[in-house]
Structure 1
Amino acid sequence: MSIVQIITIIGSIPLFSLRTFLPAFLTALLLTYPDYFPGLEDVPPVPEDAFISRNWVLIVLGSLSLLEIIGDKSTEVRNLLKNAETYLKPISFLAINLSLLDESSVDVLQEVQWAAFDPLWILLAFGTLFVHWLATLRKDFLDFLESIDEDDNLFIGKITSWIEDSLVLFGFLLLIWTGILMVILYATAITFFVFMRKRYNKKLEKQKLKCPACGEKNLPFAVKCRNCKQLQPQIYSIGIFGEKKKNLVSNIQKHQLNLISHRKCAECGNKLNSTRLFQNCHFCGNAHFQSPTVKEFIKYQDKKFYKLAGLSFLIGFVPVIGFLTSALMANIYLFSPYRRYISKGTSFLTKIFIKFITFLFFIIGIALGFIAAPAYIVLRYYIWKKKFTSRASKPHNFPSSVEKV
């Protein structure tokens, strides 16, 4: 294994942890057409008979990269591939470094100013495992962002995706020009992220409150202890992104309905993994939607709908901003509580239709926001409420231990 190959391995690790096919496509493009890259105009390309320079390889990798970039902007596609990516990325990384870097490719890379350091401690197996570890770390980070903005109402997912695309392109170019700097920058960023993650987990652990009856630690917005089911003396409110608020709960039933709207257990406050309406919490065993019931939850949402629809009429008189503000508030307070109980696959076509009507209402809302905003909220609320109530009557939403209500 040459020094060039070792530098390629160590430098491409963070790139492949972010994207599966884009780094591979950029590598193939560099070796086939180095004059496309700034500062490499005098570097000769690999021979035409080299595997990596074949047209079909470039077309396949380019097409897969484009599909990856587009698909990652969709919440449904991103969630579908999230678990598989932790294995696809190491495989892609290994294939590029074993198969695509043939002797003719290495000859070209020798002309590129890759920064070098001691290659003896760099192994390909280590690189593959490290890509898998970083990809898993990225998945955990995306899960955390999803817990904050599950339906991408604030476009956190899309913004993160565009940042990752930029990091791959920037990192690849930086690896060509000054590989050692690129490695240092990415290593620093990864270290900082791991540090912040541990700090966040410690903060969450500190927020937990001990049950006075059994000593079990519970979330600050838990109504009952997850272990002994004792009513907790201090129950903190939960924010719109699932965070702990400073004020204590005064109305327990309203607080439980708020927990349900975040797809959290109405008793222990932990996140429910399944989108089924009627399920048992895997932390405390509480039967979800037994109390409060589905009817009470819908009534709770309807009250918010009437208030927000009226408010949207008033703020709709403000051009553009009024409509956008109404749409954002409706996404967070009205639509997301229903969407969290609808599986991603079944809501895909619905979301495509909604995006189309959103665009139409936005055009109308530029001048007639006081009409477009309420109409938009009424139509979308009806669509998501209808899908939610239809799921409430389907048998697969009922575990054997829970009776249909």
Structure 2
Amino acid sequence: PCGLHCPECGTPNPSPRALNWIGYSRLRTVVPPSGWKRHEEVLRSYRRCFYCGQPLREPSLDQRCPACGKAVLQGEQSVGRYDAYIGRRRGWTFAAVVVLGVVPILGPLLASSLYRRTLINPYSLYMTVYRESFLMVVLFLCRHLFRLLPFIGIIGMPVLCVTEYHLYRRMFLWKAEKYDFRGE
């Protein structure tokens, strides 16, 4: 129901459904035609096909939708639109992390979950090699350490949020730059 087009014939869906915060279709919320470009990026951020809404199997840029055969990213412009879509969340997420960092114990827990969900996951869903790298393990340990140590979390959580965001973003863009879109 969330796909913009039929995967078999390509007919536009007259009433595609919006996605909820988990990535499932909302049954009562229809995406207006003016919001279809943004909806493409929302679908990508949940590792779904931007065209038909089919869940994608692999955490890789080098894949095609199993239902319609479209490539995950259609070129450098789609990479730029996707990056800009995630970047628009940056300001309010950073502000929320700072505010939540002041709340003892529960604040850093909520802050790390929030920025991970809004800024990190949309990039990490398409990366495989770097998930096991030493730097990612260190950032993972820091995130969980800052959750447990409230006074360190007040300062550390916003710093970690900014650091992780820029690191994952750069790695995603580097990986997309290496990918040859002409071979599509």
**TM-score normalised by the shorter chain: which range applies?**
0.7 to 0.9
Q: Which whole-Å CA distance do the structure 1 matches of 2:114 and 2:13 have between them?
A: 31
Alignment correspondent of 1:236: 17
> Is 1:387 equivalent to 2:171 in the alignment?
yes
Q: Report the 3-state secondary structure (helix = DSSP H, G, I; strand = E; otherwise coil) of the residue aligned with 2:91.
A: helix
1:357 to 136, 142, 151: 142
CA 1:282–1:363 in 2, change beyond 3 Å: closer, same or farther?
closer
Q: Where in structure 2 are the equivalents of 1:110-149 lying within 5 Å?
A: none
- The runs of at least 4 aligned residues of structure 1 exceeding 4 Å deviation read none
Alignment correspondent of 2:64: 280
> Which amino acid in the other structure matches residue 255 of structure 1?
H
Alignment correspondent of 1:262: 46
Unaligned runs of 5+ in 2: none
1:342 to 127, 147, 151: 127
Alignment correspondent of 2:80: 295
Q: Report the 3-state secondary structure (helix = DSSP H, G, I; strand = E; otherwise coil) of the residue aligned with 2:29.
A: strand
Q: Report the 3-state secondary structure (helix = DSSP H, G, I; strand = E; otherwise coil) of the residue aligned with 1:346.
A: helix
Please say if residues 4 and 13 of structure 2, whose CA atoms lie closer than 8 Å, have aligned partners that are also in contact.
yes
Q: Which whole-Å CA distance do the structure 1 matches of 2:102 and 2:171 have between them?
A: 31
Alignment correspondent of 2:115: 330
Alignment correspondent of 1:371: 155
Compute the RMSD of aligned alpha carbons. Answer: 2.1
> Which amino acid in the other structure matches residue 249 of structure 1?
V
> Is 1:249 equivalent to 2:31 in the alignment?
yes
Once the two structures are TM-superposed, the CA of residue 225 in structure 1 deviates from its matched residue by 0.9
Once the two structures are TM-superposed, the CA of residue 283 in structure 1 deviates from its matched residue by 1.0
Once the two structures are TM-superposed, the CA of residue 270 in structure 1 deviates from its matched residue by 0.6
Please say if residues 223 and 269 of structure 1, whose CA atoms lie closer than 8 Å, have aligned partners that are also in contact.
yes
Q: Percent identity?
A: 23
* 1:52-102: CA deviation from partner (whole Å, max 9, x where unpaired): xxxxxxxxxxxxxxxxxxxxxxxxxxxxxxxxxxxxxxxxxxxxxxxxxxx
* 1:212-237: CA deviation from partner (whole Å, max 9, x where unpaired): xxxxxxxx100011112111111111
Alignment correspondent of 1:314: 99
> Which amino acid in the other structure matches residue 334 of structure 1?
L
Q: Which whole-Å CA distance do the structure 1 matches of 2:91 and 2:47 have between them?
A: 22
Please say if residues 270 and 283 of structure 1, whose CA atoms lie closer than 8 Å, have aligned partners that are also in contact.
yes
Unaligned runs of 5+ in 1: 1-219
Q: Which whole-Å CA distance do the structure 1 matches of 2:79 and 2:182 have between them?
A: 18
Once the two structures are TM-superposed, the CA of residue 318 in structure 1 deviates from its matched residue by 1.0
Alignment correspondent of 1:305: 90
> Which amino acid in the other structure matches residue 287 of structure 1?
A
> Is 1:227 equivalent to 2:8 in the alignment?
yes
Q: Report the 3-state secondary structure (helix = DSSP H, G, I; strand = E; otherwise coil) of the residue aligned with 1:375.
A: helix
Q: Which whole-Å CA distance do the structure 1 matches of 2:97 and 2:181 have between them?
A: 39
Between Structure 1 and Structure 2, whose CA radius of gyration is higher?
1
Q: Which whole-Å CA distance do the structure 2 matches of 1:367 and 1:322 have between them?
A: 11
> Which amino acid in the other structure matches residue 156 of structure 2?
A
> Which amino acid in the other structure matches residue 336 of structure 1?
N
Q: Report the 3-state secondary structure (helix = DSSP H, G, I; strand = E; otherwise coil) of the residue aligned with 2:18.
A: strand
* 1:16-73: CA deviation from partner (whole Å, max 9, x where unpaired): xxxxxxxxxxxxxxxxxxxxxxxxxxxxxxxxxxxxxxxxxxxxxxxxxxxxxxxxxx
CA 1:294–1:400 in 2, change beyond 3 Å: closer, same or farther?
closer
> Which amino acid in the other structure matches residue 305 of structure 1?
R
| Larger RCO of the pair (alpha carbons < 8 Å, separation 6+) | 2
Q: Which whole-Å CA distance do the structure 2 matches of 1:285 and 1:399 have between them?
A: 15
Q: Report the 3-state secondary structure (helix = DSSP H, G, I; strand = E; otherwise coil) of the residue aligned with 2:88.
A: helix
Once the two structures are TM-superposed, the CA of residue 370 in structure 1 deviates from its matched residue by 4.2
Once the two structures are TM-superposed, the CA of residue 256 in structure 1 deviates from its matched residue by 0.9
Higher helix fraction (1 or 2): 1
